[in-house]
Amino acid sequence: MPSLLQNLWFLLVAVLFIGFFFLEGFDFGVGMSLKTVAKNEEEQDALISSIGPHWDGNEVWLIAGGGAMFAAIPYWYASLFSGFYLILFIILLGLIFRGVSFEFREQMYTSKYRELWATIASITSFIVPFFFGLMFADVVQGMPIDAAGDLSAGFFDYVNIFSVVAGVALALLSYMHGLNYTRLKLAESPLVERAKQQLKVLYPVLLLGEVAFAVSLYFFTDFFTTKPMITLILLVVIVGLTLLAWFTNVKDHQGWTFMALGLVIATVVALLLIGLYPRVMVADNPANSILLKNATSTPYTLKWMTIIALTVVPIVVCYQAWSFWVFRKRIQVGGDEKYGN
């Protein structure tokens, strides 16, 4: 059995990753919609302004999650990151080009180059959640891991039906989360209307995706054998929240829609991590699965990290929430809101 501190840190890493997918999820969605919803530069400007002050801070949740994993569960960090080398490499390239794209676009001189960087932002905003979904699905379905904890896998271990379904699902969720965010943050305009029309079509698609996810979860993982109750409950919650989001979207309760779909993302990530527990890496040979109780730092280090994290994280949450509150005013397409200083 993992100790209390070990469980606490598994939970904290989970919270940081869930926070990342909830917050950066809509940034990804808004990024994608630069090409799929916006029709001109003014609309792109408005979309970028809506996430401009926040996306960098949202991305730090990933950095903090990775750092917390390194500090508290280093054997997980080492096996996961080296085992998914190429996938994380693609994610890194996505994050790099996406990270500079907003700033570079803003400062470009000709509309041709501004369009180029908008396209880059759009594509990379899809790539990152897609490959994260793919990777998490691989982790829970079991990969070839040796006794030392080193993962060496082939192409079809990484790319299979389940992992592609999970990747598409996470990317789609992020996209819709972004559209909901746009509806929440932008004042009425044709852009917002297009987002609304797209969402109407996308909710049934998402439900289909969730069914596909649940079915492949049955065939590719041991979730239904080891934890049938909690898995079923969470799947029902996911579908229920999706229906709630759909319903409130039709009724135009934008705040509710946004929260409901955000919670779907959080629940999907939570479901994967709960199914993973008490392992941190699932091996195709169960004897080689890496267990939480064997993967963490020492109690001494965990104690220090607990003190620091429990002091700092609440402060961080406060000032980040404050920054959202400060910029709560709706943005006009073609308004004077500018990106950059």
Distance CA(73)–CA(64), nearest Å, equals 13
Contacting another protein within 102-141 (CB under 8 A): 102-104, 107-109
Indicate the residue among 37 and 62 with the shorter CB distance to another protein. 62
Q: Taking the CA atoms of the chain, what radius of gyration do you get in angstroms?
A: 20
- Minimum Å gap between C-beta 203 and another protein is 24
Contact yes or no for 137/166 (Cβ under 8 A):
yes
Q: Please report, as residue ranges, which positions from 197 to 236 form the binding site for another protein (by CB under 8 A).
A: none
Enclosing H/E stretch for 281? strand 279-281
Which part of the chain contacts another protein (CB under 8 A), choosing from 35-43, 57-65, 245-253, 269-277? Answer: 57-65
Size of the site for another protein (CB under 8 A): 76
The Cα 60–Cα 19 span in angstroms is: 10
Using the contact rule CB under 8 A, the part of the chain among 25-33, 175-183, 238-246, 311-319 near another protein is 311-319
> Near another protein by CB under 8 A, which window of 162-170, 252-260, 273-281, 325-333?
325-333
Closest C-alpha among 52, 96, 261 to residue 174: 261
Residue whose CB is less far from another protein, 11 or 93:
93
Closest CA to 132 of 75, 100, 88, 73: 88
Residues 6+ apart with CB under 8 A from 42: 333, 334
Q: Which of residues 168-197 bind another protein (CB under 8 A)?
A: 187-188
Torsion of CA 282, 284, 285, 288, to 10 degrees: -30
Q: How far is the CB of 30 from another protein (least distance, A)?
A: 15
Taking CB under 8 A as the binding criterion, the range among 144-152, 164-172, 205-213, 261-269 that sits at the site for another protein is: 144-152
The residue (of 75 and 224) whose beta carbon lies closer to another protein is 75
Task: Compute CA 214 distance to the chain's CA centroid, rounded to the nearest angstrom.
Answer: 18
Which region among 195-203, 218-226, 276-284, 329-337 touches another protein (by CB under 8 A)?
Answer: 329-337
CB atoms near residue 280 (< 10 Å): 27
Which CB, 43 or 210, lies closer to another protein? 43
Q: How far is the CB of 231 from another protein (least distance, A)?
A: 29
Site string for another protein, 76-105 (x = CB under 8 A): -xxxxxxx-xx-xx--xx-xxx-xx-xxx-
Q: Which of 41, 74, 164, 291 binds another protein (CB under 8 A)?
A: 74
- 298 is an interface residue for another protein by CB under 8 A: yes
CA–CA dist 339, 34 (Å, integer): 15
State the nearest-atom distance from the C-beta of 115 to another protein, in Å.
Answer: 15
Question: Binding of another protein at residue 157 (CB under 8 A)?
Answer: no
What the block records as the tokens of 242 is: 């999706």
Work out which of 42, 56, 115, 222 binds another protein, going by CB under 8 A. 56
For residue 149, CA distances in Å to 1, 73, 207, 289, 296 come to 19, 13, 37, 8, 14
Asked whether position 66 contacts another protein by CB under 8 A, the answer is yes
Q: Which of 166, 82, 167 lies closest to 128 in space, CA to CA?
A: 167
- Among 68, 166, 199, 280, the residue binding another protein under the rule CB under 8 A is 68
